[in-house]
Structure 1
Amino acid sequence: MKNLFFSREKIVQTFETLQGLIDGIRADGKIKNEEVIALKSWVKAHNYLEMRRPFNDIINIVKTAVSDHVLSEDEILDIKYVCKKFLDTYGGSKMGHLHGFASGIASDGELNEVEWKSLAKWIHTYDYLRGSWPYDEINALVHKHRSTLDLSSEEKEIIIYYFNDFCGLNKNSSLTHPLNEPNKPITGICAVCPDIEVYERTFCLTGESKKYSRDEITDKIFECGGIYKNDMSNLIDYLVVCSEGSPMWIYSCYGRKVEKAIAMRKAGHPIQIIHEFDLLDALEDAA
């Protein structure tokens, strides 16, 4: 067996994600076969840790729970008990819980009103995570679409795929997806009511503004003591999405810079994706 080493943060994240996955699966009070399969996928992904502490107990409990292809309430409570006991001892940041929670909600391939409200409540409760991935992205979605009735079937499909990426439940966990084509938009990626500091902060722009030229926007940034860079790098604090007055975003439209920004956020770089309107408000306040 390989001499595997896991940091405390990695171990805590594993337990947080599992706890969130369970909470997401049971969010609407129903356990479907697809959700049991999602839990089996979690077991498969972590099976190589079965003989290692502190993973051995929880992996065996989950494996036993799904062995009959049914997940009972007692089995759910057993899993949650072990996760809670571990996290009460070692603490946690809740970010792993969000990853699991979103993926658990989407694991049956559907989004219903009860699940959506549960997700919105979670986002509101843990507002202190603002600025982190994927909190801002999910926060933007639940604020833009207060109800699942606002979502088209196509948007639901993209969101489900997007959520499942958080736990690696898709066969190809990546940012892009075949549905992300020019005529297939999804609303919500920019941070909601972001706290924007301009002075000595570095900005990058993507898209075109209907209100100002790019030179006019960059001049305003410089006037307020900010810095502008045309290319994405770890120096960037804010990626500004200019969209001709529309809150819509499409990966294939903004492409390279948005994809780079989200990859950076996944890796832990604190770059924020903001809308041009929020930047202009911040520049006006800073002037």
Structure 2
Amino acid sequence: MSDSDWRRAVEPDYVKDAEINELIGLCKGVLADGTLVQEEAEFLLGWLDGRFQASVSWEGRIIHDRLRAMLADGELDADEQRELMELLADFTRVDEAHESNLPTWLPLTRPEPELLIPGSAFCLTGTFSYGPRKRVVACIEKAGGQYKSGFSAQVDVLVIGDLCTPAWVHATYGRKIEAAATARDEGHHVLIVRESHLFNSLPE
């Protein structure tokens, strides 16, 4: 670690808090008009590149890693834009679960079901620890599964990213979870599982 990195690593907590608060403000500003363009993603990446405390915090590290992965090819496609908007909205709402009486538990299928990957249709929602959603999709398709970008009656399995916030009820991706749970309650055979269960079910 260089001298400059060491000095930044031992900065007082208020420096980290200030950077995180600034990051929250930037994310809210980016989301304010309901769209997210590549220039805004590149600005956020550049900002995080220069903010040690924000980029090594748990929340900042996830955003930083996703931005670097999504922009590695020089293009932020439509699916990545939607995924990034969900992630930033999730980050700015992280405390809302503590300010409401809404449930924070996930309606997962219990006991954990056997997943038959080949021929099954998968829908993804939330933030994945494995990486950007397209990497998860590639794993599913390599194992013979199909990917559906939106939840519908054709979906067999809804997979929730392991980094799903307790405030999922407030988040954009909460609508997919609610739709899947409602469909299941109405008798449709749809499984709701966590990311970790999916990857435990994929072939070696």
Q: State the TM bucket, normalised to the shorter chain.
A: 0.3 to 0.5
Q: Which has the higher Rg, Structure 1 or Structure 2?
A: 1
Normalising by the residue count of structure 2, what TM-score does the alignment of the two structures yield?
Answer: 0.46
Choose between structure 1 and 2 for higher RCO, CA contacts under 8 A separated by at least 6 residues.
2
